[in-house]
Amino acid sequence: MSAFFISDSVPTGSDIAWNQDKQRLLMQGEILVETRSHTAWGGAVTAWMYVPLVRSHVWQQITDYPRWVQYFPDVTKSEVLQRGEVKRLYQAAQKAFFFFTAQVEIYLNVVEELGQQIQFKLEKGSFHDFTAELELKDCGNGTLLGYTVQATPTIPIPSIFIQQAMNFELPANMRKMRQVLCKG
């Protein structure tokens, strides 16, 4: 691996110390995750994965927002409501917790920086706050995909549980996303 990978491929704001071992883990298919506190009832997480596809192909697929139901098993609906410089997106999801099932819906404003980054910002929905960002970087013959989410649900679940769920579920979701992306 080159120093280019370290300096130009890591999403800005990252606290993960990037070294040869972590680069090797990414190239071998691991998902690297960093969780952090966000609010007393929310959490924040960043995950990185390597996708063995060129960035333009990954971009084409991840901006097909109705297809997100295939990437993330909890997402039951993903619909573009408005196109333009700022897109409006509606998503619904269902998540089973210990003894109840939470159903959430969210309306997002989506801003794309062609081939490089997608920013999602809460307009309204089942969260006090929600922001997410997908970032794509060239990496060898493939693409490094970074996904950052910070959210506070309206359901009062302590932050530690939110962070644990993010830490546990995001890698599985990212693996599923990579599997679907690679199938085309």
pLDDT digits (tens, 9 = 90+) for 121-132: 999 998 888 999
**For residue range 9-36, what is the model confidence (pLDDT) as tens digits?**
444 444 445 567 888 899 899 999 987 7
Distances (CA, A) of 19 to 23, 84, 138, 140: 6, 40, 17, 16
DSSP state of 67: G
Helix (H, G, I), strand (E, B) or coil at 37: strand
Is 79 within a domain? no
Is 93 within a domain? no
Q: How many CB atoms lie within 10 A of CB 52?
A: 15
The whole domain housing 113 covers 32-64+106-183
Say what the pLDDT of residue 15 is: 42
Proportion of the chain above pLDDT 90, given as a percent: 52
User: Stretch 136-157: mean pLDDT, rounded?
Assistant: 87
Is 51 within a domain? yes
Q: Is residue 41's pLDDT more than 80?
A: no
Say what the pLDDT of residue 171 is: 86
End-to-end Cα separation, the chain, in angstroms: 27
Comparison of pLDDT for 184 and 48, the residue scoring more: 48
DSSP state of 116: T
Is 75 within a domain? no
Q: Is residue 157's pLDDT more than 60?
A: yes
Is 121 within a domain? yes
Say what the pLDDT of residue 56 is: 97
**For residue range 46-89, what is the model confidence (pLDDT) as tens digits?**
899 999 999 999 999 999 999 999 998 889 999 999 999 999 99
Q: Which residues pair with 57 in a beta bridge?
A: none
Say what the pLDDT of residue 12 is: 41
Is 132 within a domain? yes
The type of residue at 124 is K
Model pTM?
0.82
CATH classification at residue 179: 3.30.530.20
Is 77 within a domain? no
User: Stretch 82-108: mean pLDDT, rounded?
Assistant: 86
Domains identified in the chain, total number = 1
Is 25 within a domain? no
Alpha-carbon gap, residue 25 to 21, rounded angstroms: 6
